[in-house]
Chains A and B, each alone.
Chain A
Amino acid sequence: MAAPKKSVVAKETGQEKANGSPPEFTKAQELAALRDMLLIRRFEEKAGQLYGMGAIGGFCHLYIGQEAVVVGMQMALKQGDQVITGYRDHGHMLACGMEANGVMAELTGRRGGYSKGKGGSMHMFSMEKNFYGGHGIVGAQVSLGTGLAFANRYRGNDFVSVAYFGDGASNQGQVYESFNMAELWKLPVIYVIENNRYAMGTSVTRSSALTDFSKRGASFNIPGQQIDGMDVRAVKAAGDEAVAWCRAGKGPFILEMQTYRYRGHSMSDPAKYRTREEVEKIRTDQDPIEQVRNRLLAAKVTEQELKAIDAEVREIVNASADFAQRDPEPDPSELWTDIYR
C-alpha cells in the first residue's frame, strides 16, 4: 500500500504536492478524527457481534478499516453538502451525524430505525443530515449523486454532492454515463472511489483493465487523484481541494481513496481470496485509527485522554445495541405505509 499521492492532472489543478506527508492536523482535528473513526470502528464491531447473535439479518457490510475515508471527507464538507453511497454505508451515516441508535435499530429491523425497519443495512436515509442513502444496486448511487449535483446547479447554490462507490462499482456502465454528463454540465460532484482492493472476492487486478482509478475520468477530462485513504489527513486535504474545485464551478472531481477492508465483503464472506498475512500487515502498519492515536501520543496527549474518548464511544455504541434490541418491531400496519405519498 502506502501509494505515493500522485495527480493525474497535476498541472491543471495545481495540486501536486512535494513528496512528503499531508498538512498536519491541529490537536482538535486529530481528536475529532479519532473520535469519529473510533465510533465507526466500535459500531461496526458491535454490528458484527449482533449479526453473529442473529439480531441483524440479511446482508451486513462492515466498514472496518476504511474509516479514514469518510471521516476525512466529511471534515472537508459544509452543512448542506450531500452525501450518497452504496451498501457499505454505516460509516457514512455516522460520519454525517446520524444517530447510532437509529442506524443500529434499522440494522435490527425495528421501528426506531431510520427507515422504520423497512430498509435495513443497505437502505437508510436522512434528509435532515443530507444523507441520500444507502443504495443496494452497485453503481446506482453514482447516477443519483450526479443528480443531486444537478439539482444544486439547477438551484444555483454552491453545495457539493459526494458520491462514494467502490473499485467494483467503477466497472459499471452508468458510472461513465454519469461522468460524461457531470463534466458536460460542470456539475459539482466529487466521485470518491473507495478502492479497498476487492470487489467482493475479486481483486482489482482480476477485474479492472486499468487499476489506477483516478484515471477513470480521463476520457471525460475529469481530474483525478490517488490518495492514501488510510491517512485521514491526506483524505481531508484532498477533499478540501476537490470541494474547492467543485464549488468554483469547475465541474466534477475524482478521488481514488486507496483503502482496505479488514472484514469480509459481507458477514458471510470467509475471505479466502486473500491471505491472513495481507490483512495483518495492513492492520499493523497502516491502521487509520492507530496512525492518529500514535501521533496524539507523540504530541503528549495522555493515554487517559484517549481512554476517555474510547469510553464515550463505547457507551454510545452499547446504548445503540441495547436500544436496537429493545425497540419493538414495526407495527404490522407499516407493511402498507410509505408506498405512495
Chain B
Amino acid sequence: MPIQVLMPALSPTMEKGNLAKWLKKEGETIKSGDVIAEIETDKATMEVEATDEGTLGKILIPEGTADVAVNTPIATILADGESAADLGKVAAALAPAPNVQKEVEESRSPVGEGKPMISAPPSAPATAVAEPDPEVPAGTEMITQTIREALRDAMAEEMRRDGDVFVMGEEVAEYQGAYKVTQGLLQEFGARRVIDTPITEHGFAGVGVGAAMSGLKPIVEFMTFNFAMQAIDQIINSAAKTLYMSGGQMGCSIVFRGPNGAAARVAAQHSQDYSAWYSQIPGLKVIAPFSAADYKGLLKAAIRDPNPVIFLENEVLYGHTGEVPKLDDYVIPIGKARIVRSGKDVTLISWSNGMTYALKAADELAKEGIEAEVIDLRTLRPMDTETIIASVKKTGRAVTVEEGWQQSGVGAEIAARIMEHAFDYLDAPVARVSGKDVPMPYAANLEKLALPNVAEVVAAAKAVAYR
C-alpha cells in the first residue's frame, strides 16, 4: 500500500512550516536516508529524510507552500510493484516519524528584509477590547511582526545607537540564535559585538557582569532561563548587589534575556518559570511581556537601563505576531502595567504567556455577561501596584494567572498587595490560577493538566464573582 509522508514537527513548539523545496521529483526512486525536501520552520531550514523506500508517487503539497500544518500529508511513496494507479489506496497515515537530520546552511536575508516566515495566531484575541497604549501617538502606522522579530529589531536598534551594547551567548552569532532571535545581528554588527560563547553559563554570565562593571552594556542571552540556574550566583550576588555594596559607586548595566517557562513537551528541567525567583531580588528589574509591541519597547528600555535587568521571554510566543508601532524609537517605560481590556466585574492579572489564558477567559466570561478587566503586568519588578489596586477598587474581585508554581509565587505577592492596599474593597478573596505543584511532566495529557488553562481562569473568575 502506498505510504504517506507527513509534514514533520521539527521543534517542540512547531505547529506549521513552509515547504521550501522538493529535492526529489515525482517518479524518482527514493532510498531510506535520501533527503527528499527542505522545510522552513520559524527557527531554521531543515532537511527531511525519507524513512521508506520506493518511488515518489505524488507530491501533495507543492514547494513554496507556506504554513503547512504538522501532520498534513505532503507526498506519497509507492512501494516496489505499485504504480500511480495505487495512489488511491493510501491508508490513513499513522506514525509521522519524521527523520529530521542535518540543518541546512542558513543564508537568510539581512535584518529587516525577510518577510515573516509564519503567521501564527495574533497575540491577543480579536474580540479583546484593547485599551490604546498611551506611549503610541494616535495615527501611528503599525507593522505586523513576530515577537522574535520585535526582539531582534530592539537589539539591532540599540546596538546601532550605542557602541557599548553587545550581545553574547550560546549560538547567538553564526547559528543565528538557537531560537533565531538574534538572526542577522552577526551580519550587521560583526563578531566583535555578536559573540558566540562556549556552553558555560556560569562563566559567561560572570564575564558579562565584569564587562558591565567596566561600563559596557552586555545583552547576555541564555538559551533558556533553565540554564541560567548555573549562573544565578553571578546574576544575584554580583550583578544585583554590587551597586548597593559599593555605596553607589559601581553598578552594572546588563540585560539577561532568553526564553523562560514552559515550552512544549520538554519536561521538567526545561520547563520552569523563574518569574518569582528573580522578582524577589532587590537590585534587579524583571520584565516579562506578552505582546510583540511590549517585547520591543521594553527590551529597548531594558538595554538602556543602568541596572541589571532580567528579561523573561516565552518560547511559545516567539512565533506569534502582533502590531508594533512604526516609530523610530519605541521605548516603553519599565514598571508600568497595561490594562489590555476594560471591565467592571472582575480583575484578571497576568503577564507573559499567562495572558493567553486571561484574555481567552475574558472572552468566555463576556459571553456569560461577566465583564473582566485584564491587566498585563509586563514588569514584575518594580511591580505596578497602583494599576492593580485601582482596578481592584473598581471591580472588588481579582484573579491572578501564572504558569509558575503557587507557593511563594508572583500571584501570592499580588494577592498580598491587594490585601494590604484594597482589603476593604474586596468582595471576595483573591483567587490564584497557576501551574500545578509538580515538576513539569512530559506526557502530553499530563503537561496540559500541569499548566493553567482557560477553564480554570473562567471558573476562578466566576467563583470570586459568586456566579
Q: Which residues of B contact A124 (CB under 8 A)?
A: 246
Of the listed stretches A127-135, A286-294, A319-327, chain B binds A127-135
Task: Evaluate contact between A144 and B283: CB separation under 8 angstroms.
Answer: no
User: How many angstroms from the CA of A145 to the CA of B213 in the assembled complex?
Assistant: 10
Residues in B298-328 with C-beta less than 8 Å from chain A: 306-307
Residues in A137-180 with C-beta less than 8 Å from chain B: 137, 140, 142-152, 154, 173-174, 176-178, 180
Residue of B nearest to A130 (CB): B214
Known A126-B249, A177-B198; judge A148-B211 contact (CB<8 A): yes
Does B212 reach chain A (CB closer than 8 Å)? yes
Does A123 reach chain B (CB closer than 8 Å)? yes
Residues in B404-435 with C-beta less than 8 Å from chain A: none
Does A341 reach chain B (CB closer than 8 Å)? yes
Does A296 reach chain B (CB closer than 8 Å)? no
Query: Which among B200, B211, B234, B247 is the interface contact of A338 at CB below 8 angstroms?
Result: B247
Q: How far is the CB of B221 from chain A (nearest CB, A)?
A: 15
Query: Which among A84, A119, A140, A147 is the interface contact of B246 at CB below 8 angstroms?
Result: A119
Task: Evaluate contact between A151 and B245: CB separation under 8 angstroms.
Answer: no
Does B87 reach chain A (CB closer than 8 Å)? no
Known A116-B248, A151-B215, A180-B203; judge A339-B210 contact (CB<8 A): no
Does B166 reach chain A (CB closer than 8 Å)? yes
Does B367 reach chain A (CB closer than 8 Å)? no
- How many residue-residue contacts, CB under 8 A, span A and B? 144
Query: Which among B198, B206, B233, B246 is the interface contact of A125 at CB below 8 angstroms?
Result: B246
User: How many angstroms from the CA of A178 to the CA of B205 in the assembled complex?
Assistant: 10
User: How many angstroms from the CA of A340 to the CA of B214 in the assembled complex?
Assistant: 17
Residue of B nearest to A334 (CB): B247
Q: Which residues of A contact B215 (CB under 8 A)?
A: 151
Q: Which residues of A contact B307 (CB under 8 A)?
A: 340-341
Residues in A78-132 with C-beta less than 8 Å from chain B: 82, 84, 113-119, 123-127, 132
Query: Which among A135, A147, A148, A173 is the interface contact of B202 at CB below 8 angstroms?
Result: A173
Q: Which residues of A contact B233 (CB under 8 A)?
A: 137, 140
Q: Which residues of B contact A181 (CB under 8 A)?
A: 197-198, 200, 203-204, 207
Task: Evaluate contact between B238 and A140: CB separation under 8 angstroms.
Answer: yes
Give the size category of B's interface with A: 35 or more
Task: Evaluate contact between A154 and B282: CB separation under 8 angstroms.
Answer: no
Task: Evaluate contact between A340 and B283: CB separation under 8 angstroms.
Answer: yes
Query: Which among A115, A126, A341 is the interface contact of B306 at CB below 8 angstroms?
Result: A341
Task: Evaluate contact between B207 and A178: CB separation under 8 angstroms.
Answer: yes
Q: Which residues of A contact B214 (CB under 8 A)?
A: 82, 132, 147-148, 151-152
Does B251 reach chain A (CB closer than 8 Å)? yes
Does B208 reach chain A (CB closer than 8 Å)? yes
Task: Evaluate contact between A144 and B250: CB separation under 8 angstroms.
Answer: no
User: How many angstroms from the CA of A135 to the CA of B238 in the assembled complex?
Assistant: 8
Does A200 reach chain B (CB closer than 8 Å)? no
Residues in A235-256 with C-beta less than 8 Å from chain B: none
Task: Evaluate contact between A151 and B211: CB separation under 8 angstroms.
Answer: yes
Scan A297-320; emit 1 where CB is below 8 A from any B CB, else 0.
000000000000000000000000
Task: Evaluate contact between B234 and A140: CB separation under 8 angstroms.
Answer: yes
Does A136 reach chain B (CB closer than 8 Å)? yes
Query: Which among B198, B203, B250, B285 is the interface contact of A143 at CB below 8 angstroms?
Result: B203
Does A2 reach chain B (CB closer than 8 Å)? no
Task: Evaluate contact between A150 and B207: CB separation under 8 angstroms.
Answer: yes
Q: A133-B245, A174-B202 are in contact. List 19 more A-B contacts (CB 8 A).
A: A113-B247, A115-B247, A116-B248, A127-B249, A127-B250, A140-B234, A140-B237, A143-B207, A143-B210, A144-B206, A144-B234, A144-B238, A148-B211, A154-B216, A177-B200, A177-B202, A184-B198, A338-B248, A341-B251
Closest 4 CB pairs of A and B: A147-B210, A143-B206, A177-B203, A116-B247
**Interface residues in chain B, defined as those with a beta carbon under 8 Å from any beta carbon in chain A:** 166, 192, 197-198, 200, 202-216, 233-234, 237-238, 242-251, 282-283, 285, 306-307
Name 28 interchain pairs, CB-CB below 8 A, sorted by A: A114-B246, A118-B247, A125-B249, A126-B249, A127-B250, A132-B213, A137-B233, A137-B237, A137-B238, A143-B203, A143-B205, A144-B207, A144-B238, A149-B210, A150-B211, A151-B210, A151-B211, A151-B215, A154-B166, A174-B202, A177-B203, A180-B198, A181-B200, A181-B204, A181-B207, A337-B248, A338-B248, A339-B243
